[in-house]
Chain A
């Protein structure tokens, strides 16, 4: 029968030193660049690992480029619908995010959005104001690369989309809206 080996003090010290060394190498070369975009050796970038952390929090924070539509109202052509707000939202690879509007009951939200090609899973839904139970009402749930329509808001609260990008590349959405609302933005 085999017995549990008891390493000598020398071997114990070697074990500790080598475990710290192995951990340091893995951490500095791979984990730091991939997880935190910190790359002290420069190897992370050479190996392409920093990409992982760059598409993470950075894009989540800086993914909205607000571009208020230059609404040049031509007096002759008021029939043509002009959007009130246009926003470009980037959903990082393998991530999901929400973009919301605060809208009062019985108001209307007109919208149109499309992605740069890739279809995204989305849930268009609303949450009543002041609700703490986590209740939400889903208006539309599907996987598409565009959607448009008009929502008659059933209750006062935050309304908007949850998009999920299951692909390995960031997907850009252009969302145009019109109506009486307050933009809550990315949540």
Chain B
């Protein structure tokens, strides 16, 4: 809901969000590593039973520090200007990754973490290319961007599910813990989006946003390519 009201927000409220955003940035930089760090790993391997708040926190942290998910989201909202559109696209992404996160964990679908992360990295390249109008030029018509965002959301969810299952999750209270993790992911996503939207919102007031949009999406593709190469090398060296 706050996404809708974001654009009509008075400036004083925006200042508050900048402070939150900056705090998030610091948090983001200090925790640095994507995925699950050794502390979290230790918690996940030694905990048993229901642990709602810890799983909520891990989910939120995973999203806020997960640069691949964030880069994709930046790509998705780059040319979305209306709060309503942002809400629809983000909801589709959320629906997609929640579905596969829950299904993946319940059915013990465990994919190779490097390969699934490579697909996630590819989704960033795709979105950057799509924002440049490349997909439309390549195929002749613009594929439905809503379906695309949902489709890639499914892969992001498998990534989340695979990472959680790398640790022997306790089977008791699995549902509670999974839901807590999923809710945490959404909270983290909302916080990260607030930060991104605040920054983009400011930049959008200037013409440079539009003059540099090609460069921005080129850089987005670069980021995706780096992650893609990183994951593929990880896969090759791990086999």
Q: Hey, which bits of chain A sit against chain B, CB under 8 A?
A: 2-7, 9, 11-12, 15-16, 18-20, 22-24, 26-27, 31-32, 35-36, 38, 95-96, 132-136, 162, 164
Report how far A4 CA is from B211 CA in the complex, Å: 10
B interface SS class: helix
Identity of the chain B residue whose Cβ is nearest the Cβ of A127 in the assembled complex: B46
A22:B134 contact, CB within 8 angstroms: no
**Contact string, B23-37, partner A, CB cutoff 8 A, digits 1/0?**
000000000000000
A136:B46 contact, CB within 8 angstroms: yes
A19:B214 contact, CB within 8 angstroms: no
B170:A134 contact, CB within 8 angstroms: yes
A12:B134 contact, CB within 8 angstroms: yes
Tell me the smallest distance from the CB of A41 to a CB of chain B, in Å.
15
Q: Hey, which bits of chain B sit against chain A, CB under 8 A?
A: 38-39, 42, 45-49, 79, 125, 128-129, 132-134, 137, 168, 170, 172, 207, 209-210, 213-214, 217-219, 221-226, 229-230, 233-234, 237
Identity of the chain B residue whose Cβ is nearest the Cβ of A121 in the assembled complex: B39
Report chain A residues within 8 Å CB of B214.
5, 7, 11, 15
Of B168, B210, B221, the residue contacting A15 (CB under 8 A) is B221
Tell me the smallest distance from the CB of A17 to a CB of chain B, in Å.
9
B213:A4 contact, CB within 8 angstroms: yes
Of A7, A19, A132, the residue contacting B133 (CB under 8 A) is A7
Report chain B residues within 8 Å CB of A133.
48-49, 170, 172
Report how far A20 CA is from B45 CA in the complex, Å: 39
- Would you list the 4 A-B pairs with minimal beta carbon distance, nearest first? A23-B225, A19-B221, A22-B222, A133-B48
Report how far A6 CA is from B226 CA in the complex, Å: 25
Report how far A16 CA is from B134 CA in the complex, Å: 9
Of B79, B224, B237, the residue contacting A36 (CB under 8 A) is B237
Of A4, A12, A31, A134, the residue contacting B48 (CB under 8 A) is A134
B48:A135 contact, CB within 8 angstroms: yes
A23:B210 contact, CB within 8 angstroms: no
Q: A12-B134, A134-B170 are in contact. Are A23 and B226 (CB under 8 A)?
A: yes
Report how far A35 CA is from B168 CA in the complex, Å: 26
Q: A2-B210, A22-B222 are in contact. Are A7 and B132 (CB under 8 A)?
A: yes
Report chain B residues within 8 Å CB of A164.
38-39
Most buried by A among B129, B224, B229: B229
